[in-house]
Amino acid sequence: MLARILLLGFLGLWGMEISAQENHLFDAEITLTGQSSKIRKAAIRQGLSDVLQRVMVAEPLEIEQDLTVQAILAGASQYVESFHTAVELASGQPVMHVSFKKAALLERLRNGELSFWVASRPKILLWLVVEKGQQRGFFYPQVHSAIQETLLAQSSRLGFQPLFPLFDIEDYALLAVNDVVLNESKKIRQVSSRYYVDVILSGVIKAGDNCWQGRWSLLFRDQAQNWEQSCVQLPALIQSTLRNVYRQLAPQLAIQPDNQKVEDSFLIKVAGINELQNLHQLTHYFKSIDLIRSFSGYKIEDGSNFYKIEFNGDWKSLVNKFLLDKVIQTTQDVSVMPELVEFQFRQE
């Protein structure tokens, strides 16, 4: 019981971190080489470039060459919401923190050619085995601090934040090092269920004389993607891994630009709205989803609220957003858009 209480507390704290992190997809931190206006202007442009690389659904070079992206970067200063400078404690170097205007950027991106992923990132539970010489064991943040720093730094560039297992008695009872090495996905899914995550990344990284090799498996609902990496330096290996995770997830959650999307509408029935506060929460939630262009309530029947929702883009992207956020839940098959989809409001 104590372990379960600790786990729930841990997940609650992590959830608060994610809530804060959701608001930082459009923030950037850039190291300054001086204090002149020219250097500051270049830093703002670099920060906006980092943000666009984080939210656009394309390869880095394709993003750089996109005409809409180039036009946005040419006028980078007009998208600044706020900024301030500080001195980084560890290095003593001056840095600039910049927040960019999400709404203004989305308006431009909707008229471009590339899709974009601006919703909060799903939690990614990481089961990682580290192999050095003849030794093989689980990755522990407190032991493998250099690997942890690399993971966090590279994750931040794409808006991810990995969730590390507790490695308590329950974890050890359900999963062994060899289960990850042999990619026993059934066991990995089973032990991961207590963490209430939608995305699981498991892998083995092996240290060579001058480089690292990796084998990975990404589990997202009923999907599984496996890949291997040849001998590269650790930062490049982690960066490539997380870029591939982004490459697999982003198309399923992205918003398409106006010239590519399909406008559609559906009816949704939401049960469990028992208080006025629940109604306010649901309204705020629908308003926060960029895929939804409009929604309107049209009746209340047998304790359920009915809405008509008009949205732009792919049905799968919208459904994945609902399922990941867990504000409303369904047991209905929603792989294809029905005329009426039924959800249950999730009480806190």
pLDDT confidence tier of residue 14, bands split at 50, 70 and 90? very low
Burial zone of 80 (CB within 10 Å; 0-12 exposed, 13-18 middle, 19+ buried): middle
Determine the Cα–Cα distance for residues 197 and 220; give it in Å rounded to an integer. Answer: 9
Which amino acid makes up residue 29?
E
Cβ count within 10 A of residue 94: 17
Predicted confidence at residue 95, as pLDDT, reads: 93
pLDDT value at 16 more than 50: no
Predicted confidence at residue 335, as pLDDT, reads: 85
First to last CA, the chain: 21
Determine the Cα–Cα distance for residues 16 and 73; give it in Å rounded to an integer. Answer: 32
Residue 193 is classified by DSSP as G
Instruction: Output the CATH code of domain 121-253.
Output: 3.30.160.100
Predicted confidence at residue 215, as pLDDT, reads: 97
- Could you tell me what percent of the chain has a pLDDT over 90? 66
Predicted confidence at residue 260, as pLDDT, reads: 64
Strands (DSSP E) contained in 208-301 are: 212-220, 223-232, 263-271, 292-301
pLDDT value at 9 more than 70: no
User: Using one digit for the tens of pLDDT, what is the confidence trace for 309-326?
Assistant: 988 777 888 888 898 888
What is the CATH T-level fold of the domain 263-345, as seen in this structure? Alpha-Beta Plaits (3.30.70)
Where are the alpha helices (H) located in 66-161, listed in sequence order? 67-74, 102-109, 145-157
User: Using one digit for the tens of pLDDT, what is the confidence trace for 49-96?
Assistant: 999 999 999 999 999 999 999 999 999 999 999 999 998 887 888 999
Which amino acid makes up residue 78?
Q
Q: Which residues pair with 89 in a beta bridge?
A: none
Q: Which residues pair with 28 in a beta bridge?
A: 98
Cβ count within 10 A of residue 107: 10
Geometric angle at alpha carbon 205, from 201 and 206, rounded to 5° = 165
Higher pLDDT, 183 or 209: 183
Predicted confidence at residue 47, as pLDDT, reads: 97
Q: Which of 95-99, 247-251, 255-259 has the lowest mean pLDDT?
A: 255-259
Q: Which of 10-14, 66-70, 136-140 has the lowest mean pLDDT?
A: 10-14
Which amino acid makes up residue 69?
V
Q: Which of 11-20, 156-165, 268-277 has the lowest mean pLDDT?
A: 11-20
Determine the Cα–Cα distance for residues 250 and 247; give it in Å rounded to an integer. Answer: 6
Determine the Cα–Cα distance for residues 20 and 232; give it in Å rounded to an integer. Answer: 33
Q: How far is CA 116 from the centre of its chain?
A: 12
Determine the Cα–Cα distance for residues 48 and 43; give it in Å rounded to an integer. Answer: 9
pLDDT confidence tier of residue 340, bands split at 50, 70 and 90? very high
Q: What is the mean pLDDT of residues 152-175?
A: 92
Predicted confidence at residue 225, as pLDDT, reads: 95
pLDDT value at 25 more than 50: yes
**Where in the chain are all domains bearing CATH 3.30.70?**
263-345
Predicted confidence at residue 185, as pLDDT, reads: 95
**Where in the chain are all domains bearing CATH 3.30.160.100?**
121-253
